[in-house]
Structure 1
Amino acid sequence: MSRLGRRSLSVAGGLLLQKVLPEPPDRWHPVSWFGFAMQQAEAVGYADTRATGVRHALAGGAIGGLAGGAIGSTALAVAVCAAGRELRRAARLVETPLLVGDLAAARVALPSLVGRDRSHLDASGIAAAVVESLAENLVDAVVAPAFWGLAGGARGVTVHRAINTMDAMVGHHSDRYENFGWAAARLDDGANWIPARLFVLLVMMAAPTRATAVRAAVRSDARLHPSPNAGVAEAAVAATLGRELGGPLQYGGRHEARPRLGDGPRPEAGDIAAARELTSRTEWALIVTLVLLWWADHRLGQISAGRRTAPR
């Protein structure tokens, strides 16, 4: 069996493990340890320059690579770094109070998914934020770890997770991070570029009757989004659900005129369940694809071995 075949099975196993194993408390989670280490590094080495940010990002990537080497197992690295089940759990925590009209409780739960200003969001705005987060973060937290597990084994998974975590910490527009976080943000864009496009294919597999609409929305709308990857994922989910996502939003005191993605009414509380179900089906489509890739590799190996041993 080739390396790709072995990794395909390992990644599929890791995705299944993260579905059944309990999520460790934050204080014991390796990603939390990494985040704490990078906070300390920032406190010591921060400067408002891109060069300093590049060094910070490279140091974080190196720590991620060392962690992958220590873990050793691709399946275990994926199980630790992937978070599809946790993502859907966080969405449900917002959905539950929103369904009964408790906007205050829904706003309190929302920061576990998004960083936007939630103080003035109505029920539809909260629902849209959750659906958009499910779309974007399934790329970051499921498809990308799987892709980098295939490409680089355990180290590929953990380096990606380090980059993604640094982007969440410093890779956003603000006076403090405009320069310092530039490298982390660009690395994250690059690391998720292919996974975001694979996500579109997986969504079409998970919802084949909406494949044409998904393709059209991604082609027409995704390029309007400021992120090269979030727009792709959000346009695909918007088209699948038949809802309109995007639109103006605020991060702190900063206003962003985000494009509107997809056609249809704005999301409502009930659409969060449909989005959760879509992400679950998409994740299963990925697992099935990985198993089929392993099987195809295994069969090709058998055929090749048979040809070598056949009498001449």
Structure 2
Amino acid sequence: MTLAYHILDVFTERPFGGNPLAVVLDADHLTTAEMQTIAREFNLSETVFVLKPTSAGHTARVRIFTPSRELPFAGHPTLGAAILLAELRATNGNGDNDAIIALEEEAGSIRVGVRMRANSVSFGEFDAPKMSSAAVEAISEPEELAAAIALIPVELGFENHKPSLMRGHSTFAFLPISNLDVMSQVKVMPQHWARAFTDHGVDGVYLYTRQCVRAHSAFHVRMFAPDLGVPEDPATGSAAASFASIIHQFDVLPDGTHKRAIEQGIEMGRPSAIQLTMTVARGKLEGVRIGGHAVRVAEGTLRIYVPSAAGLPLGGPSGRS
């Protein structure tokens, strides 16, 4: 059996920036174990498997895997898969196209608006799924948190922003960092990480500061998820969606629509740009939208072998860029 796959760079307008994503098409006959094995083979932060939808009105069903486990929702896989499907279905290959791609995910139905323009990189935007819990919780002691990322407690926090925990489809710890110089010094300290984060059920640790490299950015961020098999992530749409609650909590946004540009991946040499749009009504955060570009950089074929006496049922990817 052979399956087509594509590699996209997501949350960027340029190849080899942003967050790379593998999308495997026509994956209905793969088992969960096979999907996990393939995701581990690609070894990207996430791999998406596209299947036939189970309900009318949807474009596709998708399953999302990190190298170590399946996720109910993730931002850059949602955006990248939708943009790819829109491009593959576009009726006017050399002109302007707009599409709505409706995806079935474990977290629910997500509709992605995709804008395709001649001589331009495709852009997509989606409403983030509602979180099961939007409460902002305190997390650990500053000394534990700082030790886990090779900092000292005084380097955590700015203005009224304090370390917080958000539980939703994934659980993120949000750590405000005093400035860009401190952000560049961060590194994961395994001997302290488990007590500060893993023991609290944290999937990823999202560090942010108002000091930015790009003039138009509102926040500079880094995200680490070693427990998911992701040492550092170049762009994290799901965490950005949860970050909206952090911004609303500490910045006390007034009613209306608020846009924030988030830069990420710069320390990794994979600069990313995430557009975060928040809608506040009657003092409550009512809606969150995540937007960004994605560009295709490679495509190829997965060869899936019949189980052999050596016990190796799966082949590997072959492709071209």
The interval holding the TM-score normalised by the smaller chain is: under 0.3
Question: RCO (CA 8 Å, sep 6+): is it higher in 1 or 2?
Answer: 1
The structure carrying a bigger helix percent of its residues is 1
The structure carrying a bigger strand percent of its residues is 2
